[in-house]
Amino acid sequence: MSALISSEQQHQQCLHILRQITDRIDSELLSVRNWGLCGGVAGLILFLVEMEANYPDTLGMDKIESLIDALQSNCDLKTLPPRLDMGLLGIAWLREHLQQRFGDDDDVNADIDQLILNALSVDTWSGEYELLAGLAGFGLYASKRSGYDSGKRMIEKVVQHLQSLMVETPQGLAWPSAPTSAYHSDGNSEQVEFNLGLAHGNASVLGCLTHIYRCQPTLEHERLLRGSADWLLAQRNPADTGSYFSYNNRRVMRSRIGWCYGDIGNALVLWRAGKALEDQRIQNAAKDIAVACTTRRDFKLTSCYDAGICHGSAGNMLIFQTLHDEMQHPALLDYAQFWLQQTFDYAQKEPNLDGLRRFDGEADEYQDCPGMLEGLAGVGLCLLAAVGHDSSWKESLLLE
């Protein structure tokens, strides 16, 4: 990915923040209570590895390797839930990512694949369909392992479960949130609801299907991908709402600027789907959605209250940097730089990186968070991408 930072002053400012983040994570590692990718040790390792790869001896490879060894030996994989965010799938993804990026041809995940296949080997899927806790996360990992027989079998099972859960509509193919789903807005069993977000909704299925179609461009996978893209594009808010997408299909409202929900993540997965399908109509629509977001610079219109990847300034910076690389529209680059400056402003707002704390909306307070999805490690990964370093890690969030 091309560099976003253009001046030496910005580069030095970024490097100073990155070193502070490294020191802070190093000091807080022992207090992290889970092994997961999005909020736990695996995500911290991901940042530290990328930092060390680009700035050797920042922390020291010996220390990082000891952390990886601890993840390998101390974590009881059989007891972890099969989830991308805080369970088995995320750790498996990290191991495969590190192996593909830095390792040899050894198959490091053969045993884990069997655990994942066991979780998928049910007649009826009763879990979530989305990315962080559900089938889309399984599909993302399976696609990464598509060169192995176990990966092919995982893809087959994921597709079978997605087919059993989907609804065929005049607009295309969609996946409803069950009343029992943690991501149903009110748990009203009388109301069918379709979540539209990238973290927990139909956009995550679209991103997952794009990965699967790239690995296995079959007619059925093409049908599922095209049907999912068509349906998502059809979920447009009225023109005066302030965003193309709402949070779900039952409530018309302006969505935030963020990865988890809203226009920017959806625009990126739509663009990638259109690219995979060689469908210019889908790509043009995705570009229009992305560019329209760039006029939203009043923070009340963005609902951005912190710096994290999930719905904060660094995540927005990363996505618009990626959108510009893909779509080559100058407004996207300008908006990425707008979010870069906001990330710098957050970092300088309070001493000791306290300005980069996660905002908890329910508690209405800022909280320390070292994690990848909402905390310091994620901000650090985004800043590394802004400098122009490898950002293939963003595949874990359907951004690659």
pLDDT tens, residue by residue, 31-84: 888 899 999 999 999 999 999 999 998 888 888 888 888 877 788 888 999 999
How far apart (Å, rounded) are the C-alpha atoms in residues 31 and 37?
16
H helices of 166-255, in order, are 202-215, 219-233
> Residue 398 above 80 pLDDT?
yes
297, β-bridge pairs: none
Mean pLDDT over residues 6-10, rounded? 91
Strand spans (E) along the chain: 167-169, 172-174, 358-360, 365-367
pLDDT reported for residue 71: 79
Dump pLDDT digits (tens) for 176-189: 998 888 998 876 66
Dump pLDDT digits (tens) for 371-389: 999 999 999 999 999 999 9
pLDDT reported for residue 188: 65
Q: How does residue 92 score in pLDDT terms, banded at 50, 70 and 90?
A: very high
Give the predicted TM-score (pTM) of the model.
Answer: 0.96
- In this structure, what token pair is assigned to residue 396? 């874990």
- In this structure, what token pair is assigned to residue 308? 């994290």
pLDDT reported for residue 8: 94
Which positions ≥6 away from 11 have C-beta within 8 Å? 5, 387
- Chain-wide mean pLDDT for the chain? 95
Q: Which helix (H) or strand (E) holds 143?
A: helix 135-144
Exposed, middle or buried, 235 (CB in 10 Å: 0-12/13-18/19+)? buried
Residue 177 Cα distances to 107, 191, 224, 322, angstroms:
36, 10, 18, 29
Give the range among 199-213, 323-337, 350-364 with minimum mean pLDDT: 350-364
How far apart (Å, rounded) are the C-alpha atoms in residues 15 and 20?
9
pLDDT reported for residue 186: 79
